[in-house]
Amino acid sequence: MPSVLVVEDDQFVRSALIRHLTEASHTVRSVGTALEALREVAHFRFDVVVLDLGLPDLDGAEALKMLRSITDVPVIIATARDDEAEIVRLLNDGADDYLTKPFSVEHLSARMAAVLRRTRGAGAQAPPPRVLQVGGLFIDPLRRQAELDGTALDLTRREFDLLAFLAGRPGVVVPRRELLAEVWKQSYGDDQTIDVHLSWLRRKLGETAARPRYLHTLRGVGVKLEPPAAGPVA
- Computed over every residue of the chain, the mean pLDDT equals 85
**Which fold does the domain 3-124 belong to in CATH?**
Rossmann fold (3.40.50)
Between CA 40 and CA 42 the distance in angstroms is 5
User: Where does residue 158 fall: left (phi above 0), alpha (psi -120 to 50 degrees), or beta otherwise?
Assistant: alpha
* Sign of the four-CA dihedral 93, 63, 202, 212: positive
For 36-43, what is the mean pLDDT? 88
pLDDT digits (tens, 9 = 90+) for 97-136: 888 888 887 888 888 888 888 766 555 444 545 789 999 9
For 61-86, what is the mean pLDDT? 85
CATH architecture of 132-225: Orthogonal Bundle (1.10)
pTM of this structure: 0.55
What percent of the chain lies above the pLDDT cut of 70?
91
pLDDT of residue 215: 95
Position 99, amino acid: L
- Residue spans of the domains in the chain: they are 3-124, 132-225
What would you report as the CA-atom Rg of the chain, rounded to the nearest whole angstrom?
Answer: 20
